[in-house]
A = this chain, B = another copy of it.
Amino acid sequence: MGLIVQKYGGTSVGSIERIQRVAERIVEYRQAGHDLVVVVSAMGKSTDVLVDMAKQIAPFPSEREMDMLLTTGEQVSIALLTMALHQRGCDAISLTGWQAGVHTESVHGRARIQEIDNRRILAELEKGRVVVVAGFQGISREGEITTLGRGGSDTSAVALAASLKAEKCEIFTDVAGVFTADPRVVPSAQKLPSISYDEMLELANLGAGVLHPRSVEAAKKYKVDLVVRSSFTNEEGTYVKEVADMETGRVVSGVAHDEDVAKITVIGMPASGGTLSKLFNTLAAQQVNVDIIIQGSYDSELTNISFTVSADDLHKALETLSANQAALGFERVEHETGLSKVSIVGAGMINNPGVAAEMFRQLADQDISIKMVSTSDIKVSCVIPAEHTGLAVRTLHTAFGLDVKEQAVVHGS
């Protein structure tokens, strides 16, 4: 029985009662003979409460002081969970980020982990203790408390698993695993027994929301076997690893969708590379995230460029373009709302060139118009009218054979 790193998110430790349940689960693992390092997030909405207090004081508080403030959230969780373990006769100790040796860049709010000095953790494991570590936080070279930004606790867990050469890293969350589609849209959606890092990355970026892309990237880089599973049940979750089990021969692993997409078309731009980079730099400077980009022909001196943004960013994007029209030199801007993005993801696509064509045919058969297309090795995304989102997802889910439950796959340990 080897070492397992577990991570429990904010929902999983959102109340005293849930902390008790997490403690019970940990005790079961201990009884089964596992060594455990447990990473926890701040309790439920406690981070929101802290952010709200800060906002009452300063609209743009210093990032250093925000880190000072927010890191208290995980510190509360680790102390309470450790007390709950003691109460069950389980030897355990809590460690803050700096005590656990999580060294990061000297940046606040979004620091990357640079190194883990795992000596203290190893010494505590040696004493037979469960080590409960505050996720999301670390310490800079200058002795400052830092945070890892969004998805930070997942990243903490993966980095610790890599450093400690853990058998696996289990991410406990409020869903049972990674599904072939959003079960709220596709009732026949199946939980995937396994998925590759690359597929998970595409799904994570597409808004599947189970794991932050950053933690998946770290897992891929350090070859950490990840498991996503529910903290409320004993169900097996989804393994995320180098290569998913291929015995099912599936081509597509999942269908993702992203609603509230808006399309902007900039008409009559000077057709030079410099202008294009100026356009997207100007938008990036205003924190507008651009997704799919399609450029018209370079035949003339002027070109048209279409791109998508989230509907939330539309107003800001249009304002930014308007304010910079002279500098960018375009004629006019058009935009379209009420769109969504539907994507199929699967490592099997690499060897199956007809997949994109099949996707287009399926959508056409349902009279769903395709506004834009974007592809990668393992993903095809189509922008369509939002009112057809559910139909499109269900159609593709069926067409690519995802309605059927996969064979259970036995994972050795």
Contact = CB atoms under 8 A, between A and B. Distances in A.
A58 interface: yes
A93 B19 CA distance: 34
Contacts of A120: 143
A83 B99 contact: no
Given A72-B76, A76-B69, A83 B57 contact: yes
A20 B56 CA distance: 10
How many monomers of this protein are in the complex?
A: 2
A213 to B, nearest CB: 29
B86 A62 contact: yes
B57 A20 contact: yes
Contacts of A147: none
A302 interface: no
A65 B53 contact: no
A54 interface: yes
A121 to B, nearest CB: 13
A144 to B, nearest CB: 8
Interface in A74-133: 75-76, 78-80, 82-84, 86-87, 93-94, 96, 99, 120
A143 B117 CA distance: 14
Contact of A94 (B50, B57, B68, B143): B68
A165 to B, nearest CB: 24
Given A57-B19, A76-B72, A96-B145, A65 B83 contact: yes
A65 B50 contact: no
A61 interface: yes
A66 interface: yes
A120 B58 CA distance: 26
A345 to B, nearest CB: 41
Interface of A: 16, 19-20, 50, 53-54, 56-58, 61-62, 64-66, 68-69, 71-72, 75-76, 78-80, 82-84, 86-87, 93-94, 96, 99, 120, 143, 145
29 contacts: A16-B56, A16-B57, A19-B57, A53-B76, A53-B80, A54-B79, A54-B80, A54-B83, A57-B80, A57-B84, A57-B87, A58-B83, A58-B86, A58-B87, A62-B83, A62-B86, A64-B93, A65-B86, A65-B94, A66-B79, A68-B79, A68-B94, A69-B79, A69-B80, A71-B75, A72-B75, A75-B75, A99-B143, A120-B143
